[in-house]
Amino acid sequence: HLKKKKVSFIICCLLVLIICVCVCVCVCVCVCVCVCVCVCVWFSQVIVEKVSGSQIVDIDKRKYLVPSDITVAQFMWIIRKRIQLPSEKAIFLFVDKTVPQSSITMGQLYEKEKDEDGFLYVAYSGENTFGF
């Protein structure tokens, strides 16, 4: 009789352990999905490249997770700081060979201009390369 109780207790413990593992896995999956959704909603994935042949400094970091609520002008300031561009020097940003409006948010620009790979490609130059 005692042996039966011991086996029952072990089976109950195993069931509780299995349930706990299942709940933990489910919670982890939900948290991961939630984090991924939040990153996609709150941040824009941006790749920054120097326009070929431009005389401006190369940037040291190309991939950015940019808060979706900052403006293009604010992002331009980030790029200026990153390449340590003096205030008397000009910088131009281009998306698909056009100059984006400086007052729109990076989230708006991302939604409008992102590539099919999920990245927004931004080129920068010290000259108004495309004649605008």
**Burial profile 45-72: b = 16 or more Cβ within 10 angstroms, e = fewer:** bbebebbeebebeeeeeeebebebeebb
Domain-embedded: residue 54: yes
Q: What is the pLDDT of residues 24-52, one digit of tens each?
A: 555 554 544 444 444 456 889 999 999 99
Domain-embedded: residue 29: no
Q: How far apart are the first and last CA of the chain?
A: 90
Which residues constitute the domain of residue 67? Answer: 44-125
Nearest-10 crossing angle of helices 72-82, 106-113: 100
Q: What is the pLDDT of residues 72-119, one digit of tens each?
A: 999 999 999 999 998 888 999 999 989 999 999 999 999 999 999 999
Domain-embedded: residue 56: yes
Domain-embedded: residue 28: no
Domain-embedded: residue 84: yes
Structural domains counted in the chain: 1
CA nearest 94: which of 129, 67, 64, 118?
A: 129
Domain-embedded: residue 6: no
